[in-house]
């Protein structure tokens, strides 16, 4: 099986022996990303494709005799591409999932139509937030048509759709990716007219919906070393693919994927949206049945580590931020410093686009080590916020949190995470859980049951209820309040009787 995992910073390609589940070759190729204005995040759609081809080629070169039986795709979600059907070229930049340029448009919609946010939440399980695809689709379609494109020639899609279109010529997607667009009705798993009208999008621009284990066509031609005629057997959104890889298919199981952002996800038997900023989403549609999940998306986690590393002049490009971790390990804690990386506002569970990045508690004694540790803590606190919100919503307690993604290489981060959550983590032996999940589903389409994921390394909390963890959570809550422009007043720093008020603008 050839798995392609197209992510924000790179595309990974992996050859997996279908019967044993063993990885026999892997390669990756970097993508480019641009930040042309505050809150704007763009990628070059053509580069997403060429990076995928480069990764596939480098991977296949390691096993020139391998016969590729099928392809599984996993991909960064919410990011959108607009292209010309007739010419095959992108129309405009890909708007990244972190891109918040449509924030004012979303706010205006919510103001003009006071029921809009409620409709969106009830039908799609998501917040009316610029991270999701529909406002981005609208933005790109409008720009393409204003630039002279024939509307009937304009196609849009999430990254899976773009890659599959380039591979097989079919304009298709699956419910997991589609459930991140604000256009999919969770109950019927169709593009919904009320939502299309709300966002002013004509369904003719959108891909056809197929189950995650459908056939998505066959490679239309030779793509470098990849032969023509190879079927695309599975498509899963990246976070969902990681959940699939971990075998988290029932409530009470769950995982956190530590990528550019972090997605915390746990299957649910109750797809009704909850009150605490946690999304309901389609995990996958496999074997004729949809599996739903609760999810909290943290917008900046790996990107917060990268930012801190760059700011401190720590060498970059080390798996899991090894140098940043080494710096953080020089100190026992952050020395009272909290860092809230609200680079373009905050995602789950706050969904506050007006929140700003803050670094608080800095003193004359603050060292680079304290700042590095504050960055690691920020990632772990954000995950803890989401897990707590999920459980307050009534989701089953996740007894052991599976962890995957690049930053899991940081043992210090994993230990801080286990301590703050007061529960064990099982850290995947391969950080590339998304690619493995896509390969697994693709193999299953050929009737090959790959063995369960290898057990990962277990990280146990030092203590299940420590005063240090409670104090750290309280300080973090205060930093979040500051990031959101609220006033924090309290009489005793260890008391939970704090009051937080929003400042008048």
Ligand X SMILES: O=P(O)(O)OC[C@H](O)CO
Out of 2, 4, 7, 71, the residue judged to bind ligand X by CB under 6 A: 7
Site string for ligand X, 279-298 (x = CB under 6 A): ------------------x-
Q: In angstroms, rounded to a whole number, what is the distance separating the alpha carbons of residues 7 and 30?
A: 9
Shortest distance in whole angstroms from residue 294 CB to ligand X: 15
Q: 503 in helix, strand or coil? A: coil
Q: How far is CA 99 from CA 36, 47, 133, 263, 485, in A?
A: 10, 18, 10, 17, 22
Shortest distance in whole angstroms from residue 158 CB to ligand X: 10
**What is the residue whose two structure tokens read 């919410």?**
78
Handedness of CA 396, 253, 399, 387 (dihedral sign): negative
Q: What are the start-end ranges of the E strands in 327-420?
A: 338-340, 358-360, 401-404
Cβ distance to ligand X smaller for residue 135 or 261: 261
> Does position 239 bind ligand X by CB under 6 A?
yes
Shortest distance in whole angstroms from residue 263 CB to ligand X: 6
Shortest distance in whole angstroms from residue 298 CB to ligand X: 10
Shortest distance in whole angstroms from residue 8 CB to ligand X: 3
Sequence-distant (≥ 6) Cβ neighbours of residue 82 within 8 angstroms:
90, 91, 92, 137, 140, 141, 143, 144, 154, 155, 156
Shortest distance in whole angstroms from residue 304 CB to ligand X: 12
Out of 160, 174, 238, 393, the residue judged to bind ligand X by CB under 6 A: 238
Q: What share of the chain is helix, strand, coil (3-state, %, to 5)?
A: 35, 25, 40
Closest CA to 453 of 464, 437, 471: 437
Handedness of CA 121, 124, 126, 131 (dihedral sign): negative
CB of 100 closer than 8 Å to CB of 353: yes
Q: Tell me the backbone φ, ψ of residue 199, rounded to 5 degrees.
A: -95, 0
The residue with its CB nearest to ligand X is 259
- The region of 17-25, 248-256, 260-268, 353-361 touching ligand X under the rule CB under 6 A is 260-268
> Does position 260 bind ligand X by CB under 6 A?
yes
Q: In angstroms, rounded to a whole number, what is the distance separating the alpha carbons of residues 233 and 436?
A: 14
Beta-strand relationship, 254-258 and 80-84: unpaired
Cβ distance to ligand X smaller for residue 267 or 431: 431
Cβ distance to ligand X smaller for residue 72 or 217: 72
Q: Tell me the backbone φ, ψ of residue 125, rounded to 5 degrees.
A: 80, 5
Shortest distance in whole angstroms from residue 378 CB to ligand X: 16
Cβ distance to ligand X smaller for residue 260 or 382: 260
Out of 49, 83, 97, 244, the residue judged to bind ligand X by CB under 6 A: 97
Sequence-distant (≥ 6) Cβ neighbours of residue 127 within 8 angstroms:
117, 120, 121, 277, 279, 351
> Does position 245 bind ligand X by CB under 6 A?
no
Cβ distance to ligand X smaller for residue 263 or 478: 263
Cβ distance to ligand X smaller for residue 74 or 219: 74
Displacement of CA 443 from its chain's centroid (Å): 24
Cβ distance to ligand X smaller for residue 299 or 480: 299
- The region of 61-69, 255-263, 441-449, 477-485 touching ligand X under the rule CB under 6 A is 255-263
Shortest distance in whole angstroms from residue 411 CB to ligand X: 21
Shortest distance in whole angstroms from residue 232 CB to ligand X: 19
Count of residues that interact with ligand X, criterion CB under 6 A:
13
Q: In angstroms, rounded to a whole number, what is the distance separating the alpha carbons of residues 478 and 339?
A: 11
> Does position 259 bind ligand X by CB under 6 A?
yes
Site string for ligand X, 66-95 (x = CB under 6 A): ----------xxx-----------------
**What is the residue whose two structure tokens read 């995990």?**
283
Shortest distance in whole angstroms from residue 152 CB to ligand X: 30
Shortest distance in whole angstroms from residue 77 CB to ligand X: 4
Residues 381-410 that bind ligand X (CB under 6 A): none
Q: Tell me the backbone φ, ψ of residue 362, rounded to 5 degrees.
A: -75, 135
Site string for ligand X, 431-460 (x = CB under 6 A): ------------------------------
Footprint on this chain of ligand X (rule: CB under 6 A): 7-8, 76-78, 97, 238-239, 259-261, 263, 297
């Amino acid at each position: 099986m050839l798995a392609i995992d197209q992510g924000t910073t790179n595309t990974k390609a992996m050859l997996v022996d279908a019967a044993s589940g063993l990885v026999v070759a892997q390669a990756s190729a970097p993508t480019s990303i641009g930040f042309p204005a505050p809150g704007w995040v763009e990628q070059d759609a053509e580069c997403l494709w060429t990076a995928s081809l480069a990764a596939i080629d480098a991977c296949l070169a390691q096993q020139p005799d391998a016969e590729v039986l099928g392809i599984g795709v996993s991909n960064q979600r919410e990011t959108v591409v607009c292209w010309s059907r007739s010419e095959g070229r992108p129309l405009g930049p890909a708007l990244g999932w972190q891109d918040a340029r449509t924030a004012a448009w979303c706010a205006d919609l919510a103001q003009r139509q006071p029921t809009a946010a409620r409709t969106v939440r009830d039908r799609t399980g998501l917040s009316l937030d610029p991270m999701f695809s529909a406002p981005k689709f609208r933005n790109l379609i409008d720009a393409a048509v204003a630039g002279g494109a024939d509307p009937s020639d304009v196609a849009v899609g999430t990254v899976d759709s773009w890659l599959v279109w380039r591979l097989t010529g079919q304009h298709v997607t699956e419910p997991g990716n589609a459930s991140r667009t604000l256009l999919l009705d969770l109950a019927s798993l169709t593009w919904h007219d009320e939502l299309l009208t709300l966002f002013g999008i004509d369904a003719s621009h959108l891909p056809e919906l197929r189950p995650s284990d459908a056939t998505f066509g066959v490679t239309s031609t030779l793509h470098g070393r990849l032969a023509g005629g190879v079927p695309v057997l599975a498509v899963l959104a990246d976070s969902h693919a990681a959940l699939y890889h971990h075998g988290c298919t029932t409530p009470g199981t769950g995982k956190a994927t530590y990528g550019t952002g972090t997605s915390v996800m746990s299957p649910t038997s109750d797809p009704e949206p909850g009150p605490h900023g946690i999304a309901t989403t389609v995990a996958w549609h496999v074997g004729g049945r949809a599996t739903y999940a609760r999810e909290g998306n943290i917008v900046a986690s790996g990107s917060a580590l990268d930012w801190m590393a760059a700011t401190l002049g720590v060498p970059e490009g080390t798996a899991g931020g090894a140098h940043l971790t080494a710096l953080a390990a020089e100190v026992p804690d952050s020395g009272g410093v909290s860092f809230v990386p609200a680079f373009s506002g905050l995602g789950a569970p706050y969904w506050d686009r007006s929140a700003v990045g803050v670094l608080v508690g800095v003193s004359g004694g603050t060292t680079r080590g304290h700042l590095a540790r504050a960055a690691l803590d920020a990632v772990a606190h954000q995950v803890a916020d989401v897990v707590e919100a999920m459980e307050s919503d009534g989701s089953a307690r996740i007894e052991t949190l599976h962890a995957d993604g690049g930053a899991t290489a940081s043992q210090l981060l994993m230990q801080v995470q286990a301590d703050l959550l007061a529960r064990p983590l099982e850290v995947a032996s391969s950080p590339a859980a998304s690619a493995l999940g896509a390969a697994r589903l693709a193999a299953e389409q050929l009737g090959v049951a790959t063995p369960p994921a290898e057990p990962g390394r277990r990280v146990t909390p030092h203590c299940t209820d420590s005063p240090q963890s409670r104090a750290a959570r309280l300080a973090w809550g205060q930093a979040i309040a500051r990031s959101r422009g609220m006033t924090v007043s309290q009489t005793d720093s260890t008391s939970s009787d704090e009051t937080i008020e929003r400042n008048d603008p």
